Amino acid sequence: MYTPVNARGFGAYQRTAVDTAAATANSHKLIVMLFDGLLESLNRALGAIDRGDVEEQTKAFNKAVRILSEGLLASLDAEQGGEVSVNLGALYSYCIKTLVSANVKHDPAMVSEVVDLIKPVADAWRSIE
């Protein structure tokens, strides 16, 4: 499939901008970036479900699940975070299970449920700074 040069250049610019931001960010900013990427992926998944674009839907769900599991869940420290860390771990695990099911069922309501659960946590992280 042909991708116009401008689109390829813009994609490369976006990846470089994100890589640069991640390399210079503190741990708090990295978590905020993970939440931003997660919410963006969930919105892409909703759009893909609406359009019936299964390939894009799968990519968006895969990215969201990876952010949850390899980013947010993996960054929790039960020793230092105590009960908050345990509760966030349970939330992230629930969201992962829900998204896997939503992808199989092509269910936008399940995606919206995850957005509704994640958004307040993301907003709380943004307000800390």
Q: List the structure tokens of 37.
A: 């990427």
Q: What is the pLDDT of residues 29-47, one digit of tens each?
A: 999 999 999 999 999 999 9
CB 89 within 8 A of CB 73: yes
Q: pTM here? A: 0.80
What angle do the packed helices 108-128 and 27-51 form, to 10 degrees?
A: 160
Instruction: Show me where the domains of the chain are located.
Output: 26-128
The answer as to CATH 3.40.50.300 being correct for domain 26-128 is no
CB 110 within 8 A of CB 102: yes
pLDDT higher than threshold 70 for residue 16: no
Residue 93: both structure tokens together: 């695990």
